[in-house]
Structures are given as structure tokens and as C-alpha cells.
Structure 1
């Protein structure tokens, strides 16, 4: 087995087609239990900053060059998505929607994430809402917002006030704005995994800021080991570890990731209905059919609290959760395994 960290291979359409042929053939042989003569499994790792967080990739396959090029193709696609959906890029499609209240001919990525965000909002009774940005912006200064400021901003929060078609995406009310921070990392991971699957790679790990998808296994059939972080690292409790050998999407949301006060009572997760940080949970880890869905549901679970979040997850097919409150008590759905 060899392992390498990616350099910066050149990438173009011809090379892309070569990757498909090489990776697809190799993956097919492995799928049927046929190992090419003297094939040595390779592992390629790469990290890159994107969407305001760190992207980490691990790709395993029989051909090192194909692995390297597969990583490059994946990062290329993820970069394209970032150019559309990052609110931190002034000319992104999302930033233009926030600035003007409307964009024409919205991209497939924007329409997809608006649709998924709406589905999560509906499933969680509005605990998740991408129009929460006016409330989140109130915490950009050192001073906590006043009740008057919260009341004004709450009037701009309503996920049902976004409308879109193939020709147009727009806000129904002036002054609205959105953030996909609570679902965008998951979406960008899903897009990266889709590229690797198209190229024939099935033993992969793709992660963005703790939200991840694993598929297949490590070389020699070893399962992926995924840690569930203790939300209070100063506590002596050990990290829980999940051993995964099937395609699994996992996302974690927590008050420790970005806070506005030292006691973590005020943090980056905002209840869109109150404008305040929810008081009960320290972290929520969710598994779901896609990383974007897991990402959105984990954020919503933080807002809902343990009782409502567990009830929500139990009604959703192939979704499970582990919730940890501020006293480190754990709550699990019936099917969550760790």
C-alpha cells in the first residue's frame, strides 16, 4: 500500500475521460473481487480551504495517478459550487440574491439547496430556516442585540417567503437575506462524493468542517473510524468512535464551534423564531441519506432541543441522531449506533 498527499496535477477534459476509464475499470474489478495483477492499493489525501472551512479528502484506489486526478476533479467541482453558494464571496450567486433580492436563471445548485432547505424547514416546523441571516448579523458586534433589534430582524425571517423557478429566484420581502452555512457544507460534500462515484471511486472519505460522507472501506477492508467529538473538551469523557463500512453521511452541529459569549449561551446557532441561541443542547450529530440533509437536521436539532429533535428524527426514514446536552447527558434515536 502506498500513500501520498496530492501535488497539483494538471486537469482538463481529455484527462477527465482518461480518469473515468482507468478508475472505472479498476473499481469494477475490485467490486467483483478480482484484484489486478500486482495491484498495490493507494491512498491519496488532500486538504483545502473552501466555503469558510477546511475540506479533507481521502481517496483509495488501485492506480495512484487516477486517485490524484480524481481528487483534483472533485475539488474542481466543489470549487464551482463554492463560487455559487458562498455568502463570503461578493459575486457569488447567493450574494447577488442577498444584495438585489432577485437573480435570474438560478443555477441548479441554488435551486437544489433552496428546495432541500425548504424540506428541512417543513420537517422541523421552522426550526431550520436559511433566511435567519438578518438575525445572525445582529451578533456581528461585541454587544448583544436589543429586543427592538430582534423584533425588527425577526420580521425578515420566513423560509416560505422565498420563491423560485427555473427562470427566477426572489424574496417576497425587501431586506431579506439567506445563509446556507447550516446546510451548504453538507451540500458541497455531496457534490464532491458524486464526482468520485462517477469516476468509479467507492472507497472514499470527503469532509467539510466535520460534516462528512464515507463510502466503502480503507485498504485491506478496514472500516472507517469516525469520532463524535466531546462538546466540552475540558471534560475527561472520551470521544465516541463509530466504525463505518457502508456509505454513511454524518453531520454535527454544536455550540462550541463559534460562540459570542464565554459561557456559550450565545452562539452561532440561532432559533429563527426567537433570534436567540437555543439553551438545551451542546451538540447534535445526525446520520441521513445525504450530508446536506444531515447538516440541516443537525442544525435544526440544536434549535428543537432533545425531546422534539428525537421525535422529528424518529419519523424520518434512514435518519438517526445522537444529542448531547450542556451537562453531557446523551439522547439517541432508536437506531443510532456508536
Structure 2
């Protein structure tokens, strides 16, 4: 049911910028001065908490109520998908799969995400793998990791052991588990954008914890400008910003987002093949046709390092990247515009 306008969350421009700065771990839109295209244009901004993070939406259209209705439908759709893909929600498709190792008649959203994940896993030679959950849980337990437990968890990793069809998804090895942290949020943003576009909106911005997509233009027929976060803010440098007048998906993966040691050598991004955090990059920002693809490729790039990532990304149409090493050296694909 649609929420009355009086119950919607309201934010001042300053508050909204503060939230975007915190939530936008991959980037934040710069220069929020919204000037209508003409007297009939309306800009509606909304911020909600979903998936454990802040969801930010901006919609520009000729009718204010239509903008609000479009946002409500979008948030409803995003919340619905979370109910399928979250590993933390009891009763979700993914939660039931992780619990029992098999699920019959899985929903379309879970099947689509796992299909895309398998494609990226094959493309990146296993650098991206949603079955790293046993390893991730081992590190997150905050208990000393012994060799036996580590080896047992590593043996449970392998995307090729997920058997999926429209009738059933199952693990071929007991004890396996899936995390969609590196692709699920991007997929939900994609579906949010699709919902708004189906409602007739073309000038939009949808962001979830830094994974985002923009479409059309900002009010005033100006390009969207997306800032890329410095992974080491204690070493300030010139800000990198992406400017675009077209639909663009952007996602960043970084060692600073969740780390297990103060020097960030050990963090939540694990090489599925070795079980340890990759040593070269501090962050990877990828632009792609979809946020889910950008999200997964950014995670894979962190694992592969700059040289192999550049080779693979160069072979993918409409995919570009900015990689930042732990020494803050930058690596860019030839088409990365900033």
C-alpha cells in the first residue's frame, strides 16, 4: 500500500548530502543544485534504509505525485527482491538454500543472480565466487583461524558445485553456503531502475551503499557527476569524478569497507582460490551496463589485481575501470572517463 506523503522520510539538502557521503562507499553525486528543466518539472529525493544500508533515489518528472508513486513502487520492488536474496532474512530463498543445501522452485530473482554470478566466475577464472561464505564466516567469527578449519572451509568453495535449474537449486557438497554481497545489491539497484523506467521516468538516480545507476540527465539538462571515494582519505589527493549524460552503472569494491586488521591487509574480499585477501589493490571502481555486473567485476578486480583485471576488462564491451593500489597508484582502462 502506498504510504501517505506525510509519512515519507524528508531530508534537507544538507542532511541528504551527509547521508550520501556516509552511504556512498563507492561514490557520491557531487553538486546537488537542482534546477528544474522548466516550471513544470519536479525533483523528488528519497532516502530509506534497506538491505542494511541507505537507499537513495532521485526522480525528475512533470508531476510531483507521480514521482512519489514511482519511488514507492520502486522501493516496494527492491524490498521484495531483498526478501528473496538476503542471507540474513529467515524464509528468504537464499537463507533456505544455505540452511538445507537445496531449494525447490526457486524464485526468478535468485536464479537470475546466480546465473550472472556463474558467468562472471567463469570469465574471471574463479576470482569471483559467491560460494565463499564458509571462509567469510570463519574470518568474521573473530576467533583464531586454525589450519584445519581454514582448509575445511576452503574445500567448500566452488561455484561449479552449485547446480541450478528452474525447478531446483542445490549444493553438490554438504556445508556449502552462498553470499550475494558482491552482486545482490547491484541486482536490486538494477531492478529499481527498471521499475522507474517502466513507469516512464528517464532522469533518475538510484544508489545503494555506493552501488548506483544514473539515467538521463540532472535537472537543468546537466550531466550527472559521480565522485569516486579515496580509499585512503588520510592521504588526500585530487578527487576523481565520472561525468555522464547517458545511462551508467557504477560500483566500487574496496579493502576499507570491512577489514579484519588495522593495516587492511586482511579484509572481507577473499580470493576464493586461496582463501586469503588479495594484496595489491585498495579499491576497484567499475562502470558497466548494469550495476550487478559492475559490482561483481569490481570484486573480481580486487582479487585479480591490476594486470589481469585490465586484460579482462579490455575484452568486455562498455566496461571500464579505475583501480587504485595500496600505494595509491592508479590504473585506468583506456575508456575510463574522469
C-alpha displacement of 1:238: 2.8
**Other-structure match for 2:21:** none
* Superposition pairs of residues 125-204 of structure 1, within 5 angstroms: 125-204=125-204
* Aligned residue in 2 for 1:286: 286
Matched, 1:249 2:249: yes
**Alignment correspondent of 1:64:** 64
1:306 aligns with: 306
- Structure 2 distance, partners of 1:8, 1:336, is 41
2:336 paired with 1:332: no
Shift of 1:152: 0.8
Write out per-residue CA displacement over residues 155-197 of structure 1, whole angstroms, 9 at most, x where no aligned residue.
1001011111111111111100000000011000000000001
Match of 2:262 in 1: 262
Q: Work out whether residues 189 and 208 of structure 1, in 8 Å CA contact, stay in contact via their aligned partners in 2.
A: yes
Task: Give the C-alpha shift of residue 243 in structure 1.
Answer: 1.3
> Within 2, Cα distance between the matches of 1:327 and 1:147?
30
1:145 Cα deviation (Å)?
A: 1.8
What is the number of equivalent residue pairs in this alignment? 307
SS of match in other structure, 2:45: strand
What TM-score do the two structures reach when normalised by structure 1? 0.88
1:23-81 Cα deviation digits (max 9, x unpaired): xxxxxxxxxxxx99x74211111111212221111111111000011100000000000
Shift of 1:311: 0.7
Q: Which residue number in structure 1 is paired with residue 217 of structure 2?
A: 217
CA change 1:7–1:77 in 2 (3 A) is farther
> Is the 8 Å Cα contact of residues 243 and 337 (structure 2) preserved in structure 1?
no
Shift of 1:211: 0.6
User: Counterpart of 1:233?
Assistant: 233
Q: How many Å separate the matches in 1 of 2:299 and 2:68?
A: 33
Partner of 2:73: 73
Question: Structure 1: how far apart are the matches of 2:199 and 2:104?
Answer: 32
Query: Aligned-pair distance for 1:239?
Result: 2.0
Q: 2:45 aligns to what?
A: 45
Residues 107-152 of structure 1 deviation map (CA, whole Å, 9 limit, x = unaligned): 0001000100000000100000000000000112324422322211
Say if 2:195 is the partner of 1:208: no
Match of 2:296 in 1: 296
8 Å contact kept, 1:43–1:64: yes
Q: Larger radius of gyration, structure 1 or 2?
A: 1
Deviation at 1:8, TM superposition (A): 4.2
Q: Secondary structure at the match of 2:220?
A: helix
Runs of 4+ in 1 over 4 A off after TM superposition: 6-9
- For structure 2, the 5+ residue unaligned runs are 9-35
- The residue number in structure 2 matching 1:315 is 315
Structure 1: runs of 5 or more not aligned: 1-5, 10-34
Aligned to 1:16: none
What does residue 28 of structure 2 align with? none
8 Å Cα contact 1:8/1:72 also seen in 2: no
- Return the alpha-carbon distance in structure 2 between the equivalents of residues 219 and 144 of structure 1: 53
Q: Give how far 1:209 is off.
A: 0.8
Supply the RMSD in Å over aligned alpha carbons.
1.5
Q: What is the CA–CA distance in structure 2 between the aligned matches of 1:8 and 1:223, rounded to whole Å?
A: 31
8 A Cα contact 2:287 2:294, kept in partner? yes
